[in-house]
Amino acid sequence: MYKILIGLFLSVLCLQAKCQIQFDEGSFTEVLVKAKQEKRMVFMDCYTSWCGPCKMMAEKILPLKEVGEYMNGRFVCIKVDMEKGEGPKLAQKYQVSAYPTFLVIKTDGTVMHRIVGGTLDGKEFIRKVDGAFDQNSAASMSAEYMAGNR
């Protein structure tokens, strides 16, 4: 009986893990290398342990099936506590001062898109992340401007 219950419990955990965003456990540099090898971009969840909206996103939005399916196919994802480990250095480099901040980063380490703040809906979150690929987005226009295309 216990073996059946344990097996059922582990099956549910495995199914849930496939539905949510799969965050890489490596360092930021390792994630950049992996993204380059897999020809994907990096998605960075910049959070702090005391941030209420960060906790809400981690508990309610990021585990959603549709969010996981969208993100896992397009990005190598990483979660970074901006107050621990390499977090302070990354917060300074990418000018992260509000939480949560979500960054879409090219494999050369440049920011392609920035989302500041949480969302209350998975579809809205996907729409905001998808804005990274809109040629008329503020981030795309800023990159064009910085490249000299005025």
Q: Which residues are catalytic?
A: 51, 54
64 Cβ neighbours under 8 A, 6+ residues apart = 19, 20, 122
User: How far apart are alpha carbons 11 and 17 in whole angstroms?
Assistant: 10
65 Cβ neighbours under 8 A, 6+ residues apart = 19, 20
User: How far apart are alpha carbons 118 and 140 in whole angstroms?
Assistant: 21
The phi and psi torsions of 27 (rounded to 5 degrees) equal -75, 170
Instruction: With beta carbons less than 8 A apart as the criterion, state whether 99 and 90 touch.
Output: no
77 Cβ neighbours under 8 A, 6+ residues apart = 21, 22, 23, 24, 42, 43, 44, 45, 71
